[in-house]
Amino acid sequence: MSKKSIEVLVGLFVLLGMAALVFLALKAANLASFGEHKGYTVSAKFDNIGGLKPRAPVRSAGVTVGRVKSISLDPKTYQGYVRMEIDNFVKFPKDTSAKILTAGLLGDQYIGLEAGYDEKELVDRDVIKQTQSAVVLENLIGQLIFNRAADAGSSTPAPAAPAPKK
């Protein structure tokens, strides 16, 4: 092989490597889809959204069926207001419930949808009424420590009765 053809092959290899790195970075940031997403938007209110982020997956039965579009605070109820875009090929019943779940023990959070049994379907701009907030690990640990401290304080032995006189 001539020196020029080796340089061209090395250049192509470097470009391919850079393209792979860009793809990996976009995939890690949940930005791999560039096209206009076609779907319908639904929203839900949660008491605590935990570490949920925009572009987080919306899943049903483990299958990604949409993405979180935006997250804001409802100024009247002080709840997290989450807008989701659901793929058009999936139609959920009106009584669908939404939960904020965690992938693994310390993984990213996502929204899990559980379909209900209503015959009417969710349409664009509907609100999911039944929600379950995120389980925050720090709150669980704090509760555990508080309960252990309360148990330790209540299990102190009662004062001993005086010994009988001889």
Give the per-residue pLDDT at 91. Answer: 93
Q: Where are the domains of the chain?
A: 1-32, 39-150
What confidence score (pLDDT) does residue 59 get? 95
The strand pair at 80-87 and 63-73 is best described as antiparallel
pLDDT band with cut points at 50, 70 and 90 for residue 135:
confident
* CA torsion through residues 141, 144, 147, 151, sign: negative
pLDDT tens track for 27-76: 776 665 555 667 899 999 999 998 899 999 999 999 999 999 999 999 99
Helix ranges (DSSP H) in the chain: 3-28, 137-154
* pLDDT above 70 (res 166): no
What pLDDT, on the 0 to 100 scale, is given for residue 104?
A: 77
Q: What is the pLDDT of residue 93?
A: 95
User: pLDDT of 93-116, one tens digit each?
Assistant: 999 999 999 887 777 899 999 999
Q: CB within 8 A of 37, min separation 6: which ones?
A: 67, 85
Q: Output the pLDDT for position 33.
A: 59
